[in-house]
């Protein structure tokens, strides 16, 4: 394991929230950023944590992170890791931290017998796509990500959506 990479600790919460905000800015999605330090603390360290993470540290400063959760492949019959976010501050890119963060997650998969490490990347993010391909990752052509949020999620969750079979 790269000594610059370690599991996220509760004392890292503020730094990680700041980095997630920086990621939202980079991805041009600040209008969607709502996470608070308390929300992240509960997700990572609450009574039933379902989110996990690692940080990249340089000279005592957190400069990168991953946040991930377990997925499950019904075809493979085993868990995997879904990488929700990976971000390294621009001034630390090219130093191997992004690769070290992904290597740690791949090692976690191997140690636990997980079949997959997957994530999504915005179509326009050519630098990240190039980086991921250089590691041997392959895009999943033919798949489209769907998401329910806000009013659509609430409507369906209250049973107020379209009746079955009605698209």
* pLDDT confidence bin for 163, thresholds 50/70/90: low
Tell whether 165 is covered by a domain: no
Which segments of 24-166 are extended strands (E)?
A: 52-58, 61-73, 78-88, 116-119
Buried b (16+ CB within 10 A) or exposed e, 117-127: bebebeeeeee
Residue range 51-69, pLDDT digits in tens = 999 999 999 999 999 999 9
Tell whether 123 is covered by a domain: yes
Q: Within 10 Å of residue 102's Cβ, how many Cβ atoms?
A: 21
Active-site residue, 132 included: yes
Tell whether 69 is covered by a domain: yes
Tell whether 163 is covered by a domain: no
Contacts 24+ apart (CB under 8 A), 160-167: none
Give the total number of structural domains in the chain. 1
Tell whether 127 is covered by a domain: yes
Look up tokens 């990488």; give the residue: 83
Q: Answer whether residue 7 shows pLDDT above 70.
A: yes
Domain CATH for 144: 3.40.630.30
Vertex 32 angle, CA 27 and 34, to 5°: 120
Residue range 112-146, pLDDT digits in tens = 999 999 999 999 999 999 999 999 999 998 888 88
Q: Is 128 exposed, middle or buried (0-12, 13-18, 19+ CB in 10 A)?
A: middle
Tell whether 22 is covered by a domain: yes
Q: Provide the domain limits for residue 64.
A: 5-157
Residue 136 confidence (pLDDT): 92
Average pLDDT over residues 27-51: 97
Tell whether 21 is covered by a domain: yes
Record the pTM: 0.89
Instruction: Please give the C-alpha separations between residue 118 and each of 41, 51, 84, 93, 126, in angstroms, as whole numbers.
Output: 24, 15, 9, 21, 18
Which segments of the chain are extended strands (E)?
A: 5-7, 52-58, 61-73, 78-88, 116-119
Tell whether 42 is covered by a domain: yes
């Amino acid at each position: 394991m790269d000594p610059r990479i370690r599991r996220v600790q509760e004392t890292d919460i503020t730094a990680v929230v700041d980095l997630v905000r920086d990621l939202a800015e980079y991805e041009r999605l600040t209008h969607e950023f709502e996470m608070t330090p308390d929300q992240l603390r509960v997700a990572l360290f609450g009574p039933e944590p379902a989110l996990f993470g690692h940080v990249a540290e340089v000279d005592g400063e957190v400069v990168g992170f991953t946040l991930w959760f377990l997925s499950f492949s019904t075809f493979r019959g085993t868990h995997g890791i879904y990488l929700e976010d990976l971000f390294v501050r621009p001034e630390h890119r090219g130093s191997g931290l992004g690769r070290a963060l992904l290597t740690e997650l791949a090692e976690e998969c191997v140690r636990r017998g997980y079949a997959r490490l997957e994530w999504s990347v915005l179509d326009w993010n050519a630098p990240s796509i190039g980086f991921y391909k250089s590691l041997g990752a392959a895009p999943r052509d033919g798949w489209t990500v769907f998401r329910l949020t806000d009013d659509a999620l609430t409507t369906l969750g209250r049973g107020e959506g379209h009746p079955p079979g009605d698209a």
